[in-house]
Amino acid sequence: MAAKWSVLTYIAAHNNLEQLGMLSRQQILNVGSTNDVVHGMLYDGSVGGARYVVDSPGKVRTREMLGAFNSGDPDALVDTAKWFFGQNPAERYGLVLWSHGTGWMPSEIEQVAEEARPEAAREANEPDRSGTSGSLAIFRSTLRELLRPDRQTERAILFDDGTGQSIDTLELGRVGREIMAAIGQPLELLGMDACLMANLEVAYEMRQVVRHLAASPELVPGHSWPYATIYEDLKKDPNQDGAALARTVVNRYIEFYSANPPRAGDVTKVALDLGRLDPLKNAADTLAKSLLEDIGRNSAALWTVQSATQDRETQKSTRTPSKFDFHLWDLGAVAAGLEQSNDVAASVKDAARGAVAALKPGAGAVLAEGHRGKWFDGTCGVSIYLPVVKRISPWYPKVAFAADTQWDEMLVEYRKNV
């Protein structure tokens, strides 16, 4: 008989978070599997990779030692998902991606950077989970492409096209499609235990292959998710669907970090129903179109709102790093600022009001949102690409959100006017 849930946690910890990856692995092992909820893990560290099917608490049903393993290869992720889900059919499938956003040692990133562009190496070896823009990507093949000499001027913003310093959106979309084909249905839950992934571009890219998404629009503390409580809740109630589990992730995450505040204070989490994403996409598109109607006038107002938002959420640049280093902005905060502005037309105010409404928990795509830190008051938990540099990434039109809206056209005209 099929289980209620099969959940794969893909721990790419071949980096300076190795010990914390072991802690997450042990938490999952201690929760254990049941007939209703089967847990699998991929753990990649400095001594090599291994994949597991978890048995009762503290025990392993299956262990495969993989030796030297590149968890930054998207095909390795697909292969691992097929291996685990194929052995453990279930009514619902969950996948959690755990990492810096990197599947290899910082020293290896430096080596890759040296091969492609020597001056990039100094930027690539970042000692904490937050990383610098574009320096940490879970997919090694993407890093090599980014660091090609002729891509030099694109590198700093490519990851911001819905990814921050984390997982490349276009590769992730392909991975999702291949996993869905293997299991015969969309993933019930995709969890992103990596920085900056609660992004409208990411969510829209995955909407046809994932039902629910749990992620953070900001940085993720090194200690990551409290798996002991999240997976214990699933164990106690295996009949919950992906929406309920995504809400559990938000609630347990905020609860844990409110009791155990991280040094930087960066705690945000959101649960999204990707099947209800179109109204939010349409609201963002309407906002873009309204801004384009008089972009000369509206650009100044938008810039004022961006500056005020950045000052508030960074405590006037005393709190760093943040998503602003990667040109991602909380859509709700920006829309609320435009709604209150006296320098935009009524159509912009109406469109901004619609975007804020579309982001309210329970109203549509947003199932639950939580944050800790007064500088996040007024945020809604979903970021969007709104760079402060003159040049828009030429890769941005490749993401589905850009293709289906006028957000990218608005960005181009906006940057001409500020």
pLDDT category of residue 162 using cuts at 50, 70 and 90: very low
Report whether pLDDT(237) > 90.
yes
Mean pLDDT of 269-273: 98
Same domain, 229 and 349: no
User: Does some domain include residue 349?
Assistant: yes
Single residue among 242, 275, 308 that ends a domain in this structure: 275
Question: Which of 245, 260, 275 is where one domain is finished?
Answer: 275
> What residues make up the domain containing 312?
278-363+379-417
Q: Which residues pair with 41 in a beta bridge?
A: 9, 52
Q: What is the pLDDT of residue 326?
A: 64
Same-domain pairing of 227 and 335: no
Handedness of CA 160, 42, 85, 212 (dihedral sign): negative
Contact of 315 with 375, CB cutoff 8 Å: yes
Q: Are residues 353 and 321 in the same domain?
A: yes
Mean pLDDT computed over 63-77: 89
Same domain, 205 and 294: no
- pLDDT of amino acid 313: 86
User: What whole-number distance in Å separates Cα of residue 182 and Cα of residue 6?
Assistant: 14
pLDDT grade for 406, boundaries at 50, 70 and 90: very high
Can you give the pLDDT at residue 88?
A: 98
Token representation of residue 229: 């409580």
Whole-angstrom Cα distance, residue 76 to residue 135?
Answer: 21
Span 197-218, average pLDDT: 93
Please state, for a pLDDT cut of 70, what percent of the chain lies above it.
Answer: 82
Sort residue 46 into left (φ over 0), alpha (ψ -120 to 50) or beta. alpha
Of 209, 244, 275, the position where a domain reaches its end is 275
The predicted model scores a pTM of 0.89
Residue 53 pLDDT greater than 80, yes or no: yes
* Structure token digits, residue 305: 């709102």
Residue 329: inside a domain: yes
Q: How far is residue 10's CA from residue 415's CA, in Å, rounded to a whole number?
A: 38
Label the pairing between strands 267-273 and 212-215. antiparallel
| Token code pair at residue 208 | 């046809």
Q: Are residues 30 and 170 in the same domain?
A: yes
- Into how many domains does the chain fold? 2
How large is the average pLDDT for residues 224-239? 97
Looking at the structure, do residues 313 and 409 belong to the same domain, yes or no?
yes
* pLDDT over 70 at 142, yes or no: no
Structure tokens, 84:
């685990």
Q: Is 159 domain-assigned? A: no
Backbone dihedral angles phi then psi of residue 381, each to the nearest 5 degrees: 95, 0
Average pLDDT, the chain: 84
| 82 pLDDT higher than 70 | yes
Residue 87 lies in a domain: yes
90 and 235, same structural domain? yes
User: Which pLDDT does position 139 carry in this prediction?
Assistant: 61
- pLDDT band of residue 168 (cuts 50, 70, 90) is confident
37 found inside a domain: yes
| Domain-located, residue 335 | yes
What would the mean pLDDT of 48-69 be, rounded to a whole number?
A: 95
CATH number at residue 7: 3.40.50
What are the structure tokens assigned to 176, written together? 């999702």
Higher pLDDT, 188 or 325: 188
Q: Classify residue 311: in a domain, yes or no.
A: yes
Give mean pLDDT, residues 367-382. Answer: 90
